[in-house]
Amino acid sequence: MSLVPVKYPLDLTGAAASNRVQDEAHELGNAHIRICVPHYGAFFTDSIALRDAATNRVLRKGVDYYPSVLYTLPTEQTGREVHQILVITDATCGPNVLFDAQMLGGEYSYSYDAIVQLVQRLGIDGRPIEFDNIIGKPDSFAPAPHLHDAGDVYGFEYLTSALDRVTDALKLGSAGGQKAIYDYLKARLTEIQISIDLLRLSRNSASSIIAALNYTPMNKAGGDITGPVSTMGVYNQANVREKTRSVTVVAATTTLDLSVSNRFVVTLNLDTTLKLDVLKIAGLAGTDSMKFSMLVKNDTTAGRKLLFPASVVWPNKTEPTRSTAASAINEYEFTTYDGGVKWYGKLTGANFG
């Protein structure tokens, strides 16, 4: 009877023909999840071809099976994954499979069947075997190159102590960096304090800003404040109201003076064409923007016409339809970005009751 090899030679290239296994038969049984352990130990995972022996169907890695028990050291040495067993998850696979792969060999490759055959051929007769009586053994055993975990080696406590001293030196050397961080934070806090001081100073000019924007400050009771500006104090948005100008149409052309307000209530007593006058606004430049709104009230006669100047443009190039019913109220909003050359208008509400 010919012997199967006990193990294959170590092949870190994964390409030696001597380490190629073909059609190695394995019996899995009929369990739902089954395990295949190759006869010669570790194998290169990317070299596997696993087939159903009954149908010769090739099983798919990651779908019908997955490798398990990774050998980390040879994986790092070869740059290719090396595993020990296969887990078959395909329930439709038959009870027998055929295994092809490139074996790693060396200390990772032993055939238990071959070892059993060798033991059976020894013809052991029960006599004790003394190591000194073994014939042909070498005089010495030179260690092969291999890796060790640092935790398994004595003498590293000196290196650990040296690393601790280096760490302490780095911590002492970081004092300059800590001072730079402190100086940066101090400078930022100074900038914040300056900003707070500027905000406090700006409170004194709040009344003049309100007057320039044509707002009338109100007291908390809702009435207008009549005292001098210096005694008005600071008012929030809830205590400030904007003046609205009422305009009654009495001619074919109606002018809105935008230098006096940007809120208008226009009552239509007859048909009219609007004229938007921005010429009186001091300092208005061709790149300045402003906005105003207008509430248009119809009188008791339905069908009043309101025409807008050519400087007004509308969304989709179409003027929106307002309600012309008797006593109907409509709201418009207009914005310019070029000092009044062109106004972008929109109907914000129609037919208010």
Q: What angle do CA 101, 17, 60 make, to 5 degrees?
A: 20
Q: Quick one: CA torsion of 6, 12, 17, 23, rounded to 10 degrees?
A: 60
- Comparing 336 with 149, which gets the higher pLDDT? 336
What's the pLDDT band for 211 if we cut at 50, 70, 90?
A: low
Domain boundaries, the chain: 17-119, 204-241, 244-352
Query: Any idea how long the chain is?
Result: 353
Tell me how far apart the alpha carbons of residues 34 and 66 are, in angstroms, rounded to a whole number. 11
What's the pLDDT band for 221 if we cut at 50, 70, 90?
A: very low
* pLDDT above 80 (res 38): yes
Tell me how far apart the alpha carbons of residues 25 and 195 are, in angstroms, rounded to a whole number. 83
pLDDT digits (tens, 9 = 90+) for 95-108: 999 999 999 998 88
Q: pTM of the prediction?
A: 0.36
- Comparing 262 with 276, which gets the higher pLDDT? 262
pLDDT of residue 222: 44
Question: Which amino acid makes up residue 227?
Answer: G
pLDDT digits (tens, 9 = 90+) for 309-330: 999 999 999 999 999 999 999 9
190-215: average pLDDT: 68
What is the residue whose two structure tokens read 């792969």? 101
Show the tokens assigned to 230: 């210096």
pLDDT of residue 111: 73
